[in-house]
Every structure is written in C-alpha cells, then in structure tokens.
Chain A
Amino acid sequence: MTQQSNQTIFKKWLWVGYPVVVALMIVWTVQFMVTGGSDIWVNMTQNEEETRKQEELVAILRQKLKILQGVNREELESDLRLAVEAVPPVQKAWQVVTQLRVAALESGSVMKSFKGAGGETKEASESARIDETKPPLGFNAVFTVNDLTQAQRVINSLEGKLPLIRVNSIKYLLGEMDIEVTGTWVGWTKLPEQAYSLPLPEYRIASGRMRTLLAGLVSVGDVSGEFTASGAGQMANPF
C-alpha cells in the first residue's frame, strides 16, 4: 500500500524534473562555453579579432600586388640610379675634387689650390659602412677669377652637377674666391622588418618631385668624359 502511494506521489511530481533538467542543461552549457575548458566564447571573439586583422592584411596585399605587378621596373631602376647619383650611399670625397676641377674648366677660371677640411675622409664600400655621425669631408678651394660674374659661373657649375654639392661658404675678394664645399651622401637605410605585410610607400610623387628638382643637373662623370674626349681640358688625377 505504501509502495503504491509512493509511486503515485512520484508520478504526480514527475513534471518538476522537466524545468530542473532544462535549467541544469542551460547552466551547464553556458558555463562550458564561457568558463569551461573549451573556452569557446574566448576563442570565438579572438578568432573574430584575428579575422579582422587578416582582412586588413588581405586588403593591403591586394593593393600592393596590384602596384607591384603593374610597375615599370626599368623606370624604377632608372629613377633609383638618378637618386643614387644625386645622393650616393657612400662618401665620394675625391669626386668633389673632380667637380671643383670641372667647375674651373667650365667657367674659364683657374683653381689655385684646394685642401680637405675636417670631417671623415674615409670612403667605404656599401657593405663596410662608415660612421655617418661624423661630418663628411669638406673641401676648401681657391679660384682665381676675373670678377664676380665669373665667380658665379664657378658656383653655378658646382651646383649644376651630380652628385649634389653643398656650398658651405664663399669668400670672394677682388679676383679671388675661396669656396668651401661638401659632397652629399647618405648610407642605405634598412628595409623595415616584415616589410611584405606593410603597405608600399608613395614613391611616384616623391620620384616625380625628385626628377623635377634634378632636371638640368648634369652628372659629373658625363662632363669629365666630355672634357677628356673633346680635349677642351685635361682631367688629370689631382693627386
């Protein structure tokens, strides 16, 4: 009789198990997803962040590839040659001497003397870098000129050649000009780490501006060659 009564009570209250089971199931699965060993929620949010980063990378790479595949390599190489000629990656101190001699020849003046003036005299290959913090070798040259107009022709010749020359000072006094110049040079900079995942720098505008700035400037190599070939002057070794 008691057993039958217990069965009746059990059947009567069986339905209570349904919300209990549902509640337990919800609590368990939420706990499993959020704090459980699977870390599904954390992983999913992280994945979404990674996906966003990858999407950005894909956009960069697509744009890069489009530029890289459409670029004219010959033009690039020619522009880089010009840039390197204007600002060499190594100090070319002795080329400055050639430029001074060419200036004298072109202006019809006479270079009386020149001397190296302070700074780092050492020239180096591209791999054997020298200390760029030291100032480059400067040159003092003395020209005998007829007047200021001829002195100006010397300066124009110096400033009209590649590699670029910086005129630091001029002392002109009736028929004589003492000029101090330095040749420009800057070593190669290292390419950035993981450069492939970075966007390409804007090179077309910079390159165009460079070409405009250097338009009309002549390579000193071409000039010295012309002078030797035409016999208009002798480019003897100054040393």
Chain B
Amino acid sequence: MINLLVTEKQVDKKLMKLRRMVMTVTSGILVAYLVSVGGFGGWTWYVTSKQNRINKEAEKLLTQVKAEAQTEALIRKLAARAELVEKAVRERGSAGEAGKFLVDTGNKVQYWNYSPAAQAAGIIGESAEDLSLQTGKLTDKYLRVGLKSAMWQKDKGWTGEINYEGLKANDTAE
C-alpha cells in the first residue's frame, strides 16, 4: 500500500517554502517601492517649493530692476557710445602728430601730402647726401620710407620726394 499522505505533506512543505520566499521577496520589493515613492514625493515637493520660492524672488527682483529702467538705459547708452568714441578716436589717426613730427625733423618741406594710410613730402636739400639725411630722419617713426625721386636744378638746387607710411610699433597714433 502506497502512503499518499506522506507525499502530500512533502508537497505542502515545499509549497510553504515557496510561499515564504515569494512573500519575503515581494515584501522587500514593496518596501523598496514605497521608499522610492516617498523619495520621489519628497523630491517633487522640494523642487516645487524651490521653484515657487525662486519665481517669487525673480518676480520681486524684476519689479525692482524695472523701477531702475532709466538708469539701466543710461548705462547701456553710455557703454555703447563710449565704445563708439574709442573707435572714432582710434580710426581717425593723428594728422597733427604726423605734421608735428615732420616739423620736428627740421626738414625743409616744400610740400606735404597726408592721408591716414600714407604720406608724401617734397624736401629741399643742399646736396644728395642732405636729401638722404632728411629721408633717414623719418625712419625713426615710419616703417616704410623711400626717396621716390631726387632732382637737381641749377636755380633750385636739390629737391627730393619722400614717400612714407606705416607707424612703427611703439608709435600707435597716426
């Protein structure tokens, strides 16, 4: 005779074991889930309240900044125009300084043509060496200096035409 009761008890025992394991795992998952939901809820609350606080602060500051709109417009206008002034001064060159330098060289100037990009001067000299000497004085300030032509006439003596352009690095204004 086969004892069926023993087999049924064994099955019940295995089932109980399985049940206990499933219940434990499920409970663990449930706890983890509840903790996550709680955390998410807390994070939601934190973010929302932080946003509300920042929005309120931004609104308050905006009102205060808008009340100072005239001063802000003044600052923006000044910043823009100060830059324009600087650009205008930088770009206009300095004809006065160029003229002063030519005067200070002591060269005997017959004519002088100036543009912000390049200059030319006609000079009178006592000799070819003198013309060369007068040309050399301009090399202190300018990068490219050249005696374009030299001429001797009995009644006028020596005349030369000097072309020069480009300020040297230590002379920024022209």
Contact = CB atoms under 8 A, between A and B. Distances in A.
A31 interface: no
A54 B62 CA distance: 11
Given A58-B61, A174-B110, A80 B78 contact: yes
5 contacts: A62-B61, A71-B75, A168-B116, A169-B113, A201-B76
A124 interface: no
B85 A83 contact: yes
A39 to B, nearest CB: 13
Interface in A117-175: 148-149, 151-152, 155-156, 158-160, 164-174
Nearest to B50: A51
Given A54-B54, A196-B72, A206 B82 contact: yes
Interface in B43-80: 43-44, 47-48, 50-51, 54-55, 57-58, 61-62, 64-66, 68-69, 71-80
Contacts of B83: 206
B113 A191 contact: no
B168 to A, nearest CB: 21
A54 B55 contact: yes
Interface string A59-93: 00110110111010100110110011011000000
Contacts of A169: 113-115
Contacts of A40: 44
Contact of A196 (B30, B54, B62, B91): B62
A29 B30 CA distance: 13
A99 to B, nearest CB: 13
A99 B72 CA distance: 34
A66 to B, nearest CB: 11
Interface bracket on B: 35 or more
A155 B99 contact: yes
A191 B71 CA distance: 13
Interface in B107-150: 109-116
Nearest to B110: A174
A207 interface: yes
Given A167-B114, A169-B114, A173-B110, A68 B92 contact: no
Interface string B13-33: 001000100110110011001
A203 B75 CA distance: 7
Contact of A87 (B69, B84, B96): B84
A32 B110 CA distance: 94
A214 B85 contact: yes
A222 to B, nearest CB: 18
Q: Which 5 A-B pairs have the closest CB atoms?
A: A152-B99, A61-B61, A201-B79, A83-B81, A203-B79
A156 B2 CA distance: 130
A19 B22 contact: yes
B9 interface: no
